[in-house]
Structure 1
Amino acid sequence: MPASLHLLSLPVEILLKIVSYVDKPTQLERYTTQFSSEETCNQIAPLLSVCEVLRALAFERVCAKCSIEINDDSGQSLVTFEGWPKCQKLPHASTIAKYARRVSLKVDFWDILNGDACEILENAAWIQSAFPNVVKLNVLIIGNFIGGDFYTLEAKRQNMIQFAQSIRTIMPKASKVKIELDNGLKFIEKSQATSQLLNSLVETLYRDSVQRHLKIYVNEFQIGMLPSCITGLTHVVASIHHDSHATMMLLHKSAHSLQSLEMNFHNKTHVSYLVSGYDSSAIEYPNLYKLVLAEWTIDTPHRKPSTGNKHIPFPKLKLLSVDMEYPFSDETLFKGNSRTLECLMMRLDPITIDMLRTSDTFANGQYAKLRNVTVKSLDPFSEVQSISDYIYTSFVLKMSPALQVFIDKAVIMDHNKLSFFHNSPNLTGLRILNLPEMTVHMSSLVPLLKSLRQLEAVECKYILDDLGMSADCVRSTYYPLSARLKFISLTAYEEACDDVFRSIILLALVCPALMRCHMPHDWREKFNSYVDSTVEAQSLSLYQDRLLAIKYVEY
C-alpha cells in the first residue's frame, strides 16, 4: 500500500503535529540560540511534494507570513511569502493567498493621499483571491510630504478612507491590526490636517479589530502627525525625541484598554506623565501586562517622582523591563503586581537597590510567579563596583522563590561569586544561568551543578579546568554530575582554546545530557582537532562516540 494512503488515514490533528514539530523551538532554544526560520522552511519543503493532506499543512506553515509592498514607480504591488523555501518555485500569489495568516503591508504616505495606492491595490492580479484568513495585519507608512499639492483636504480624506476600506475588504478577518509610522516619515506643513487624515485612515483600519497596535516615532517632523482622536489602543510602541504631551494624551485615552506599552524617552522627566495626568490626576492601566521603558542616553540626574500609597498604576504586569535609571523615587512600577509578574529586566544602581530593600518590595517571597530575571548595571563604565558582591547578589537572588532563568550582565564577576548561587534555597528550580562576563572555574562549577539539579544551560565567558585531575579520574569521581545540563555557551573571543576545550570534554564525560556547545565561529576546526587528539593521547577511546556527539554551534 502506498505510504501516502497510510498518511491520509491519520487524523488531521496528528498530521498537523508532525508538521509543527519541526518548527517549534523549545524554551531552552529561545534563551540560548538563534532559531533559524530559513532552516525550518527547508525542513518543511519536502512535504510540498507528497500527499495532498501534508502538502496543504505544509502550505499553512510556509505561507503563513506574507509581505506586500505597493510601489508607485512600477505601478505594481510586490507580494512575497517570507517562509517560502528558496529551493522551491513560488506559485502565483492567487493560489496560495488563502494560507496567509499574517500580512505586512508597506506603502508610501503620499501614494495613499493621492489615491495611487488604492488604484494599484485594486488592480493587482491576485486581488480576486484576496486573503480571507489573515488575522494579523501590519501596515508600515513610509515617505514624506512637504505640502504644495493640488488635492483638497476632503479629497485626501476620501482617498485615505477608500484605501483603508480596500484593505479591510481584502482581509475581512484581520482582527489584530498594527500601524507603524516610519522613523523617516515627515510632514512639515499642515500638521493639524495631517492628524485628521491619519485619524480617518487609522479608524477605518482598526474597524472591528480586537487588538489595535500603534508604533510611532515622535520627532520634530511628526509632533502633529499623531492620530490624536484614536481610543481603544491595545499595544503601543513609541519613541519620543521631542515634546511628549501629544503622545501622553494619546496613551491616557487608551489607558484602560492598553495591554502592552513600550516607550523610549529622550528625556526621562517625561516618564512621570505615564502615571500622572497634566492636571495631576492619577492614571492607571488595569489591563497592561507588558511595560518596557528605555532612554536614548544616560541623562543628567533629575528629581524622581513618586505615587501615593493608594495609586496602583500597573496592577497586572507580567513583564517589566526598565532599560534606564529607575525613574521613580518609590516602588511605583512594582505596586500591586507581586502575584502577576513573571519576567523582570532592569538596570540596578545603589540607590535603586536601597529603595527596593527599604520598601521590602521583594520580601517574603511574594513574587511567586517571577521566573525570569535579567539585571545589568546602570552605567557600563562604572559598573556596580560601589555595591559589595554580597549585597548585590543576595538582593538579586532573593527577588523570587522560583527563578528558572537568571541573566546577569551587571559586572565582570569573580568566579567565587558562584557560591551565592548554589547556596541559595531560592534557586532549586533554576534552568538557565547566563553570566556572560564571568570566567568560571571547574572547581566552582562542580558544586554548582551538584546543587542546581534542574540546570539545563550555562552561559559564561570561559570555563577553565583547575581540578588537577585526569579525565578518567574526573569521570570516576563525578559521574553523573548533572543529568539535565544540555547546553554550554561561551562568549569569549580571546585565545584560550585548549583550556576551554579540556573543560568542555570533562563536562561531556560527567554530564550525559550535554550535547551542544556554543563557541566562536573560528573555533570549530580547533575544537574537532582537539577532541580527536585527546581521544588518542589520553586513552579515551571508550568515550569517543560520546565526545564526538557534541554538536558545535557557532555564533
Structure 2
Amino acid sequence: MSTFSPLQRLPLHVVDLIVKHVTGSSRLVYDGVLPNSHEYRVLLKPLLWVCHNLRAVAYPLFCHDSELNLSSLPFDDLDEYYLRAPATHIDYRHRNHLGYSTHHMAKDVTIFLDELAVFNGKALDTLSSVPYDGCTFPLARKLTLVLVNGTDGEADGDYGTEDAGADEAFRIGPQRVEDNIGSLVERIKQMAPVASEYSVRSVLRREPSVLDQYCSDLVSRLYQLASRIDHGRNFDFVDHVELQVELIRNLTHVSYVSGSSMSNSYRYIQLARNSAPTLQSLVLESEPDIYIQGIVMDADGNHVSYPCLHTLAIWEMGDSLGSERPVFKGAAPFPILQRLRIGIDVPFGDDTFFRGNATTLEAIHMQLDIESISMLSKYTVFTPGSHPRLKVVKFWHKNNSGSELLPGVSSIMNDIGPRPTVCQYSQWGLVKDPESTLSFFGSRANIQVLTLSSLVPTLWQVITLIQSLPLLSDLRTMNPCLGPMPDGVDLDSLSEHVRSKYAPMGRRFRCWHITKRDGSNMEEIASCVLLLALACPNFGYAALSGRWRRQFMNAMKKKIGEPEFEQDTPRLNRLLFNGWESR
C-alpha cells in the first residue's frame, strides 16, 4: 500500500486528466454519463482503493443513480416518454449492465411503474424476485417514482392494449387489485428507509377506461408517499383520473405544467392549499387564470398562507383580466418568498405576490404590461433599499410595444436601486430604440450578467456597454453587426484600431451568447466576436445556439486564419475551442 501513497495526494485536476484519458472523453461530466463504463471500471479499479480523490470522482459515476424498472416496458421503450436515458440502470428481468455490486451505495433511486403491472401483481413479483438484500437502498436520499403507461403496444407478450389490461383486471377481481396496490406501496416505503425526498412523476396517456378507479387509488396512494409531485410538460397526467386530494398533504414541492385542463389545474391548486404549511416550491401553468385566486383563498373564502414557500412560478395562464383582476385583502400569503416568476399579466389587481417579502425576495422574473407597471407603481412595491437581497431582475413583455414600456421598466429599475447583478430585458420583436436601452442598462454599474435578447447591437455599442459596466461577465444579445466605421478607419485597419484604442478593457468579461436572425451575415458576426476578443483579454466564449453553431464556428475558423488576426491566433483559438466544447 505504501507504494501507492503518492496517489493519495493527487490533486483533482490530475484525477480529471486520468479519467479523461481512460474514457476518451474531452470533458469529464459528473452526471454518470460516460462511454465504455465497463472498461472504465476495469481500468480504474486498482486505483480506487489507494486514491481518495479518485474514489470521490469514480464512485458516484457507478452508484449515485440507480434505476429500477418494474413496468411492463423495457428501458428502451421508456424513451418515448422523454425520460432521461439511464446511464446505469437495473432491469432485474434481464440482469444487465453493472449487476448488484454497487447499488447499495445509491443516493438517488428511480423506479418505473405502469398501472397494469401494479394491478395484476407483476410489479410486486418482480420486486420480490430481486436477489439483492431485499432490494433496499440504505443510503438513498431521494426516491423517484415514475408512473408510465404500459399499454401502448405489446409489452413482454403479456398485454398490449387497454382492453386486454381491463380484461385481466376483471379476471383478478377488484379486491385482489386493491391488495396488489396496497402491498406494492407498502413495499416501496421500505425500499429507502432514510430517504428524505420522495418524488412522483405521472406519464399516463390514454383514453378513459374502466381502470380509472384503480388508477385513481394507485396515484393517490403514491402521492401520499411523496414530498414532491412533478407533473411537467412531458409528464401528461390524464384528466379523467380523479385525485383523492383530501388525503394528500405535507408536500414540499408541487409542479404542474399543462395548459388545457381546468379540472386538473384546480386539483393541483387544492394540493398546494392542503400542503400550505409545508410547501416550499409551487410551479403552476394552467387555464383559466381566474383560478389563481384559489392559491391564496379556499372555497369558503378563508385566506391561505404559505410560511415555508420560497419559490413560486405561475405563467401562461391566459389573457389579461384587465380591470377585472381580483384584489386580495388578506395578510401576506408568501412571507419568505425568495424566487418569483410571473409569466402572465399580473393576475391580481394588487401587490399580492410582493406583500410582506421585501426583505427575503432574491429573484424576480416577470411579464409586464401597462396594467402591471401601473400596479407596481400604485402600491409602491419597489422603493430604494426596500429589497436588500434582490439580485436577479428579469422583465419581458409579449407584444411589440417594447419602447413604450421602457420608461416604466426604467422607473421600476430605478426604484429597485443598484443592487441587482443579473438583469434581463426581453420583448417580442426588435428593440426599436437600442440607444436608449443600452444607455439605461449601461448606467447600472453593478450588472454582471445582462440579457437583451431582442437587441441587435453594433460592435461599437457592445464595446461602449462593456466599458460602462466594469463587472460585466456575461452578455446575451441578438447577432451583432459592424455598424458605421469610425472616422479614418476601414476594414483593413479595423483590427489595429481596436487594439490601439480599446485594449485592454472589460477584464471580467467572459461570455457572449448570440441569437441569430434570419438573413444576417455569419462572417460579419464572426468578425465582431473576434474584434471584441482583441479588446477584452479574458473573453473566452462565444457561440450561436442551435443549428447555427457549426456555421458560426467555421466562419470563426476562417477569420482567425486571416492576416489581421495572425498575431492573436493562440488566444483567438481559445474562443474557437470553447465554442466547440460547449456542444
TM category (shorter chain) comes to 0.7 to 0.9
Asked if residue 528 in structure 1 is aligned to residue 524 in structure 2, the reply is no
Partner of 1:360: 380
| Counterpart secondary structure, 1:105 | strand
Give the superposition deviation at 1:323: 1.4
Distance 1:506 1:182 in 2: 49
- CA change 1:431–1:306 in 2 (3 A) is same
Stretches of structure 2 lacking an aligned partner (at least 5 in a row): 21-26, 79-83, 90-95, 152-161
Partner of 2:112: 106
Partner of 1:30: none
User: Where does 1:323-472 land on structure 2 (aligned, <5 Å)?
Assistant: 323-377=343-397, 379=398, 382-385=399-402, 387-396=404-413, 398-411=415-428, 412-413=430-431, 414-416=433-435, 417-423=437-443, 427-465=444-482, 466-468=484-486, 469=489, 470-472=494-496
Distance 1:75 1:81 in 2: 8
Give the superposition deviation at 1:496: 1.5
| Counterpart secondary structure, 1:168 | helix
CA deviation vs aligned residue, 1:94-135 (integer Å, no higher than 9, x gap): 012123211221111122122111111111344656422211
- CA change 1:408–1:474 in 2 (3 A) is same
**RMSD between superposed Cα atoms in Å:** 3.7
Q: Mean alpha-carbon deviation: is it higher for 181-190 or for 227-236?
A: 181-190
Partner of 1:495: 520
Give the superposition deviation at 1:548: 2.4
Q: Is the 1:176–1:213 Cα contact (8 Å) retained in structure 2?
A: no
| Counterpart secondary structure, 1:252 | helix
Q: Is the 2:106–2:140 Cα contact (8 Å) retained in structure 1?
A: yes
CA deviation vs aligned residue, 1:144-179 (integer Å, no higher than 9, x gap): 778662445443332122112322333222220011
Stretches of structure 1 lacking an aligned partner (at least 5 in a row): 24-33
Distance 1:81 1:142 in 2: 15
CA deviation vs aligned residue, 1:318-375 (integer Å, no higher than 9, x gap): 1111112211001101111111111211111011011101211111231221212222
Specify which of 283, 286, 289 is matched with residue 262 of structure 1. Answer: 283
Partner of 2:43: 49
Structure showing the higher helix proportion among its residues:
2
Letter in 2 for 1:513: N
Distance 1:285 1:161 in 2: 32
Q: Is the 1:98–1:130 Cα contact (8 Å) retained in structure 2?
A: yes
Partner of 2:231: 215
| Counterpart secondary structure, 2:328 | coil
Q: Is the 1:107–1:142 Cα contact (8 Å) retained in structure 2?
A: yes
- CA change 1:395–1:288 in 2 (3 A) is same
Q: Is the 2:332–2:356 Cα contact (8 Å) retained in structure 1?
A: yes
The normalised TM-score by structure 1 is 0.83
The normalised TM-score by structure 2 is 0.79
Distance 1:47 1:401 in 2: 51
- CA change 1:194–1:529 in 2 (3 A) is closer
Q: Is the 1:195–1:228 Cα contact (8 Å) retained in structure 2?
A: no
Give the superposition deviation at 1:201: 4.0
- CA change 1:279–1:512 in 2 (3 A) is same
Distance 1:472 1:43 in 2: 49
Give the superposition deviation at 1:3: 7.9
Partner of 1:317: 337
Distance 2:59 2:132 in 1: 17
Partner of 1:505: 530
Partner of 1:478: 502
Letter in 2 for 1:61: L
Asked if residue 171 in structure 1 is aligned to residue 192 in structure 2, the reply is yes
Give the superposition deviation at 1:443: 2.7
Q: Is the 2:343–2:366 Cα contact (8 Å) retained in structure 1?
A: yes
Give the superposition deviation at 1:17: 11
Q: Mean alpha-carbon deviation: is it higher for 335-344 or for 161-170?
A: 161-170
Letter in 1 for 2:503: Y
Q: How many residues align?
A: 521
Distance 1:197 1:541 in 2: 67
Q: Is the 1:317–1:341 Cα contact (8 Å) retained in structure 2?
A: yes
- CA change 1:73–1:275 in 2 (3 A) is closer
Q: Is the 2:466–2:472 Cα contact (8 Å) retained in structure 1?
A: yes
Specify which of 133, 138, 145 is matched with residue 144 of structure 2. Answer: 138
Partner of 2:273: 252
Letter in 2 for 1:220: D
Identity of aligned residues (%): 20
Specify which of 87, 97, 103 is matched with residue 97 of structure 1. Answer: 103
Partner of 1:82: 86
Give the superposition deviation at 1:474: 1.9
- CA change 1:19–1:176 in 2 (3 A) is farther
